[in-house]
Amino acid sequence: MSMPVWTTVLSSEYSITEIGVGWIAGFEMLGFAIGSFGFSQKGHVSNARNLCFLGMGIFVLANLSMLFVESFLSVIVIRSICGLCEGVIVAFAARGAIETKAPEKTYGMMNASIGLIGGAFLVSTPFTNGLFGPRSVFISFAIVGLLTATLVRNIPVICKSDSPRSNLGAFNRVFLSLLFGGITLATLVDLGLWAFVDFKALDLELDIAFRTTIFASTAVLSVLGSGVSIIVGARFGYLIPMILSTVAMAVCAVTVGISSTGLQLALGIAFLIFSFQVLIPFVMGYCAYVDPDGKLVGIVTALLGIGQALGPPVAGYVLSFGFVALGIVFGILCFVSSFMFWAALNRSEPHRNVRSDSYQ
């Protein structure tokens, strides 16, 4: 959620090009993927919560160190460390959600909370920048990390079961590959466009007040998107929401690319984020249904990081051909993602008549 803010800070404060910014963001998300996947393999250990606290501590210190570095290499290293810690924290929370009665609702509430925090962050950043300078954004990151640490003790730890609870045997590798590919592409599009939305706003010569309004509206719709899964749950299954949300993302991506006014840009990016926030809880809830032991959730969490790692550098490269090309290419990727979800779930028995416990 905060990426448009700190990517522009990297460009202005550290004199890094758009492609360089894309690579830095990509390395941070690659660190996220490594951290989340690595932690997912240790999700049953008794000291998992302590590992999460350690990750938060390193995250806070790494962000504070951004105030004192100047070189491109130093920025890449520090942001990669931050991503690694973020992956550990998110993986811990994602696996804990499996132990709840309706995981898709829990993931929705988690995403809504992130949206609220991110929205407050985006709205307040222009004011803090005016008071303390652009690099104060990293102090804000550190503060958010400290506040989040107070919630970790309430997240349940998955207890290792002697008997397997997984339904993964109903899947073959092709279906799993399609599911993995779909979520990776959707995440790539989401973060790729979001990372450079402020560049588009500057290209349209929008003032800081309107850009702040765009960020605020996006944060609100992000929370509302997560709320869809909280309200609807799995009463309509998982496949239909996943397909509808990715098709909507495709339309929004093209809208962002061809936007010529601030209103078009605001609507396009806001509903893109909304659609993605609808998608994620259903994907994670479905994975929790298929594999209650949590391994699939851990893999998908890592794939979110991989998609986020690929998004900014891919977007930065395509952006060299213009924003219209970026919107069209990313729109096509969303349609491909939608097809992958359909192909993966349409023929796999576990998704049929799936309902969360609260609707049985």
Residue 161 covered by a domain: no
Q: Under a CB-based contact definition with an 8 Å cutoff, are residues 305 and 33 in contact?
A: yes
Tokens of 279: 């998608």
Residue 164 covered by a domain: no
CATH of the domain at 9: 1.20.1250.20
Domain count, the chain: 1
Residue 41 covered by a domain: yes
Rounded CA gap, 230 and 78, in Å?
A: 35
Tokens of 225: 């998107």
Higher pLDDT, 141 or 45: 141
Local structure of 352: helix, strand or coil = coil
Rounded CA gap, 338 and 308, in Å?
A: 18
Residue 163 covered by a domain: no
* Per-residue exposure over 39-57, b if at least 16 CB sit within 10 Å of its own CB, e if not: bbeebeeeebbebbbebbe
Residue 106 covered by a domain: yes
Q: Which residues contact 96 (CB under 8 A, 6 or more apart)?
A: 155, 156, 157, 158
The whole-angstrom distance between residue 250's C-alpha and the CA centroid of its chain comes to: 17
Tokens of 238: 């998982």
352 — pLDDT class (breaks 50, 70, 90): very low
What is the full DSSP assignment across 325-345?
HHHHHHHHHHHHHHHHHHHHH
Local structure of 79: helix, strand or coil = helix
Mean pLDDT, the chain, whole residue set:
78
Q: Is the pTM of this model over 0.75?
A: no
Q: Which residues contact 106 (CB under 8 A, 6 or more apart)?
A: 97, 100
Higher pLDDT, 241 or 224: 241
Rounded CA gap, 264 and 312, in Å?
A: 22
**Number of Cβ atoms within 10 Å of the Cβ of 325:** 13
The 8-class DSSP code of residue 356 comes to -
Residues 164-193 have pLDDT tens digits of 555 555 556 778 888 899 999 999 999 888
Residue 166, pLDDT score: 53
Residue 312, pLDDT score: 80
Residue 295 covered by a domain: yes
Residues 122-166 have pLDDT tens digits of 666 667 766 777 788 888 888 878 877 777 666 655 555 544 555
Residue 158 covered by a domain: no
Residue 134 covered by a domain: yes
Tokens of 232: 């609807």
Strands (E), 278-321: none
**Domain extent for 126:** 3-152+169-359
